[in-house]
Amino acid sequence: MDTILVTGALGQIGSELVPTLRTRYEDVEVVASDIEPDPDVPGPYEAVDVTDRAQVEAVIEKYDVDTVFHLAALLSAAGEQNPDRAFNVNVGGLHNVLEVGREYELDRIVIPSSIAVYGPATPDNPSERTIRSPTTMYGITKVLAENLGAYYHEKYDLDVRGIRLPGIVSHKTRPNGGTTDYAVDAFYEAVWEGEYTYFVREDTRLPMVYMSDAIDALIALAEADESDLQYQCEYNISALSFTAKELSERIEERINEFDARYDPDERQSIADSWPSTLDDTAARSDWGWSAEYDLDKMVDEMVHNLRQRTEGALS
């Protein structure tokens, strides 16, 4: 990797992946891009609308990019509010990246997928080839993304690879538009307000991963020898699986005055359609995936860092 482009760099994952890549690869130029013009971010940055192929091509040509982490996407809840936009960004944007990648013979394209590819017909603890039956536009677009990546690999020998991410928990950037956002919002509201109303039932259990583990997974997959990979874009990774109530109990152990309430909304049906656990045996055996954070370690980290931010803002 000589020059890396990260699309969707201002999002929850991108805002942490970019600085991690720049720290890890000191001799590699990492170009951040997102649809917003001139944000206050360090390092090379370009405003790129991935639905405009000319803009994608221009930034890849300008920086002589050889590797892309394609993160630009509309998430599950946001996608249900605007399904046309979700399709255009998630499928059209990826198609543009793949086409430019084919034309410029890029070395590698990494495209995160999601547990949203699964649905009500999927049995719990699914593996990579278990039936996918999404009920959201986001999930549908991610199935198409996985299939497009496999198609470009088979037809054009383009190295496209990806992982199915569960819900991501991070204290640095608050998510926006995802069904698993409650697993982050609960921490913010617990530290700031001492209370939080979940938009899912207390018994809702979903797979999650702490951000640093998710970042490590993306980079480890990007670094893996292609000959070791039995899949292209559909590797499951799993680290944590907990109910909303279990999360509340862990938070309350650290924040005594935390008042958790539950008022399910339309996102509950999306959560109910996803598996509560994932089989990630393939990722562990093929490229050495393993998670560092368990539930208690994650809760400690979240509460500690958000308290520090709150104290810093007040000082």
Per-residue pLDDT tens digits for 97-152: 999 999 999 999 999 999 999 999 999 999 999 999 999 999 999 999 999 999 99
pTM: 0.94
Mean pLDDT of all residues in the chain?
95
Domain boundaries in the chain?
3-167+209-236, 168-208+240-277+294-314
CATH 3.90.190.10: does it fit domain 3-167+209-236?
no
Please provide the distance, in angstroms rounded to a whole number, between the alpha carbons at the two ends of the chain.
42
Residues annotated as catalytic are 138
CATH architecture type of domain 168-208+240-277+294-314: Alpha-Beta Complex (3.90)
Phi, psi angle pair for 77, to nearest 5°: -65, -45
- Say what the pLDDT of residue 104 is: 98
Q: What is the pLDDT of residues 224-238, one digit of tens each?
A: 999 999 999 999 999
Q: Please report which confidence band the pLDDT of residue 39 belongs to, taking 50, 70 and 90 as the band edges.
A: confident
Kindly state the helix (H) or strand (E) to which residue 147 belongs, with its residue range. helix 137-156
In the prediction, which pLDDT does 20 show? Answer: 97
| pLDDT computed for residue 64 by the predictor | 98
Please determine, for residue 315, whether its predicted confidence score (pLDDT) is greater than 60: no
